[in-house]
Structure 1
Amino acid sequence: VFISVSSLLNMSVFKDHFDLEDLIQELKKNITALSFGHLQSNGHISVEGPFPAIQLLKDFLLLKAKSLSEKDKREENKSHQRPKRRVQQQRLSVETSNSIPDADGGKQVVVLDTDVYHYMKHFFFRKLLANYDVVISDFIDGEITTVYLGNARSRSGAEQVLRVKEEIENQSVKLHNSLRKERICFEGHMGDEKQKYKQACQTVKSHYPAVLVIPYDTHIDIIGNSSSIFEFTREVRR
């Protein structure tokens, strides 16, 4: 089992398209599970973190390189060069899967802690999306979830997608600092006891509207602020 993995990245391939320092800062913000070293003059930088986060970083950069390659081909066909765009403007938009309509090029990606994502999906996304013509899809990989944002219809502008991304990022920072998780494991418990715990969670849930309960075959995850989930778990285990 890989608890932590170290890697050396060569970011020089992006230097003609982005300010590398800005690109690194954006990666730090989006993939918080990783620890980045000092960016060297040759574009190399060391990265350390859990294996799923390293995999996500690799896939993320490959998508970015692919999108730049396709962009260069389009520019060659037009026989002119477009000015370089800094990472703050592009905000690491990537070519994503066909699950997001490519109405007018407005695509964005956000990387979240999976627990934060589940909580936001349950309590935040429906209200947020009611105000925008934007669709969301996700890819859950262990502790990290990649959220893809795109235009729901052709009339929806890319600025709406960017606005939704910014709201998700702002909300996720607040939740990341406040949310905690308790887990009730079923290991060693019989079927009747498992059902008793699930029913108890449903009963107690009505008293804690801001707590998210996620039942699995092997355990139950309880997500919320520290005081709420402490009281919630104590009542369930009575």
Structure 2
Amino acid sequence: QVFLSVTSILSVAVFKDHFVLEDLVEEMKKQSTALSFGPLQSNGQIAVQGSFPALTVLRDFLLLKAESLSEKDKREERKSHQGPRRRPQEHRGVTEKRNSVRDADGEKQVVVLDTDTYHYMRYFFPGTFQVNGVVISDSIEGDITTVCIEKAGRRVDAAHVLRAKKIIENGSIQLHKTLRKERIFFQEHTRAEKQRYKWACERLKPRYPDVLIIPYDTHIDVIGTSSKIFEFTKEVSG
């Protein structure tokens, strides 16, 4: 399965109470020059087209903005006794400044990865997710995995978080260029059939050390370079 370009429909309506959406879209375009943007719809949706790594970078950018606004809302709610809450767009310059400061602090960063790439990195490059001074957690939802990177303690320099994020991003981008996936579906859906495939995979594994095998109830996913997984699946199914 090869996807050179992906089209995604994003909704930025959640930001309408905090930003002028047209200005936010312009900021998104500057942030992600490799992507193509469609017109902003009245309901806050916009079509974005480009490579998966470029889309994940854009999603990281929007997640950080949403998280920053959420934290700001919580702080303002605690201070509500001081006076009526003002809408953020009335002080848009201040709001954007606070967002940039929080991002610069780097206490928490989020990276969105293709799940297949994430599994491959976890298996073959576990050190990518073992960086001193940070705590790394994940949330897997179908084809998308969200990786959260946080400081392990108050005395830890925020640079550790940013460095860990950069390591993960760079590694995932390089792998995304070369990794492909083949899916072997079970035909009979019996225990005997699954066992046959399991034995076949285990027998071939030493000859294909760079191929990742992930068994499921209905199929087996094989992840690796295109040439290797083609040869592997051919032998398993042969």
Q: TM-score, normalised by structure 1?
A: 0.69
1:66 aligns with 2:67: no
Whether the 8 Å contact between 1:110 and 1:148 is mirrored in structure 2 is yes
Aligned length: 208
Distance 2:188 2:68 in 1: 46
Distance of aligned partners of 1:158 and 1:204 in 2 relative to their CA distance in 1, 3 Å threshold = same
Report the secondary structure of 1:206's partner residue. helix
Matched with 2:108 is 107
Pairing of 1:97-136 with structure 2 (within 5 A): 106-124=107-125, 126-136=126-136
1:206-238 deviation line (CA, Å, top 9, x unaligned): 122211111111111110110111111122223
Residue 84, structure 1, aligned to residue 87, structure 2? no
Consecutive unaligned residues in structure 1, runs of 5 or more:
94-104
Contact 1:36 1:45 in 2 (8 A): no
Aligned to 2:184: 184
Residue ranges of structure 2 left out of the alignment (5+ in a row): 1-6, 50-54, 83-93
Aligned pairs for 1:121-200 within 5 A: 121-124=122-125, 126-200=126-200
Separation of aligned partners in 2, 1:151 and 1:66: 19
- Larger helix percent: 2
CA contact (8 A) 2:9 2:45 kept: no
Q: Per-residue deviation at 1:154?
A: 3.3
Task: Give the Cα separation in 1 of the matches to 2:157 and 2:44.
Answer: 36
Give 1:22's aligned amino acid. Answer: E
Question: Residue 82 and residue 141 in structure 1: after superposition, are their counterparts in 2 closer, same or farther (change >3 A)?
Answer: closer
Aligned CA-pair RMSD = 4.1
Work out the CA distance in 2 between the residues paired with 1:225 and 1:69.
46
Deviations 1:19-78 (A, max 9, x none): 73334665x69xx9x9742469x99552369xxx9xx89x94654431232355689999
**Which secondary structure state, in structure 1, belongs to the residue aligned with residue 207 of structure 2?**
coil
Tell me if structure 1 keeps the 8 A contact 2:11–2:46: yes
Task: Measure, in 2, the Cα distance between the counterparts of 1:83 and 1:8.
Answer: 20
- Separation in 2, partners of 1:182, 1:188: 19
How far has the Cα of 1:185 moved from its partner?
Answer: 1.0
Q: What is residue 100 of structure 1 aligned with on the other side?
A: none
**Would you say the 8 A contact 1:37–1:45 is kept in 2?**
no
- 1:159 deviates by 1.2
Q: Is the 8 A contact 1:183 1:220 kept in 2?
A: yes
Identity of paired residues, percent? Answer: 44
How far 1:146 sits from its partner (Å)? 0.9
Q: Match for residue 202 of structure 1?
A: 202
What's the counterpart of residue 12 of structure 2?
9
Letter in 1 for 2:186: F
Structure 1 residues 106 and 8, CA, compared in 2 at 3 Å: closer, same or farther? closer
Q: 1:158 to 1:174 in 2, by over 3 A?
A: same
Amino acid at match of 1:90: D
Radius of gyration: which is bigger? 2
Deviations 1:158-216 (A, max 9, x none): 21111111111111111112110011111324321211111111221112221111111
Instruction: Give the conservation status (yes or no) of the 8 Å contact 1:23–1:87.
Output: no
SS in 2 for 1:167: helix
The offset of 1:109, in angstroms, is 0.6
